[in-house]
Structure 1
């Protein structure tokens, strides 16, 4: 069907995007014997994505995945990835051009009107067991015991689903009275919660496989212009983005002392009504700017 469409419409460029990475196989076969320009867009890695090892593949199936991945990477005229880690990984497989184009945020940067009166640390989206930031809950519990004003002001706000294991961990350290689970809301409502929150929490699984994972919510967090508290694996690609844009701090799951110091410093600024960030060059992650880069690359 697509062969006929290419011929009939005179299409010279095709773009495939995955996962599912089987979509790239369509591009691979359309490229055979045809003068089409093929751009393969990987929004996630293929054989190194976090859940790949959990698929319980046989050795022959694993080998086939690797073979198909290599075929796509060698045959595509241009490749797009969302992180520098994935780019380095693919550069070990192919010499074809590879461009990093991250996810981004929609619309204009907005001002924050009506911040929460509480010292809200909010997580937007699913917070599942594998991401449980145990050290963070422990540090917050210590601060509640040590600083009466912090105890009075703290609120942990979850917009979206939270695993029972994470809620149990929070309760085990004595923070059950500070939890507010909002549940699912519309995307527009989620944006409002982001802009109202004092601090935005971003968490990733502590694993080698997740170093190159840059959650889409990071860019919406940046657009909300609220301090980002990130906790993830060592050498997480998110860290360089947050550092470059001066939008917050990123910690490893094992960090505690410096994590506590940053939260305490933010809390002191909150008490003065001065908890803000002065972000730098966030506009490069607007979808308008990213689309301009995409158009140039194609």
Structure 2
């Protein structure tokens, strides 16, 4: 049984699709808490912000965008490192516990549903079998991630919907768990039972056309900001060898362009399309969690409304 994280205090958790405005709202929320005499810090729960150097393509908040609010679990891995949800769970829970013990409100922010659930809920990870893992990794090398993802979609459509087709490492892990347990990988996901006390989940809800346009605008801004140059520089540092980092949205498409497999225009359009599809999957996963209260991030009073929710939830405990 995963130990519960006991230190008292509210844990606001902002979730939602990419480009929905989580970072901006988290910073404004933390600033308001600080102005009201409640120290607050932000804990990242996004799977790609953990990589050093992956800045433009992940919309990583700059120093100015962080607004003077301390941020945790950003730039903690090199691009050649392989991210582990189990390791991230431990890091995030330790960071949250440290904040609470210091009297700081940890504002958790992320669009990676698996990472968020791993942090918040009673979530244990099944073991591994080196022989099965080796065989699946050999298949990945021979046939590519898309072929294995299609197999996963046949065996466990729910799990496949939560994993990007290009993410071979996570696809291999899901297939390994299915083979080990004889059950769908998605069946290993926890019930909606918090391992942390004081959690208040806040979801950002945007109309699909608005979100689609935001995604297109963000990708255009990425290109204007020098995204191709960022990927080219990271490629020289070993990005193609990074099992997780190289599969990031946009990064995979630009790597295909740099390899001469597609044009730059195609890379940009494919990034927009893939990001929109991913945003729909994100939204679908978060909508399954009845504990999330949804807000319109375009509402000029959204911070006040979120603060009211946090205070009302806190008063019940």
Q: What is the TM-score of this pair, normalised by structure 2?
A: 0.33
Q: What is the TM-score of this pair, normalised by structure 1?
A: 0.34
Structure richer in strand, relative to its length? 1
**Which is greater in Rg?**
1
Structure richer in helix, relative to its length? 2
Higher normalized contact order (CA 8 Å, seq sep 6+, divided by chain length)? 2
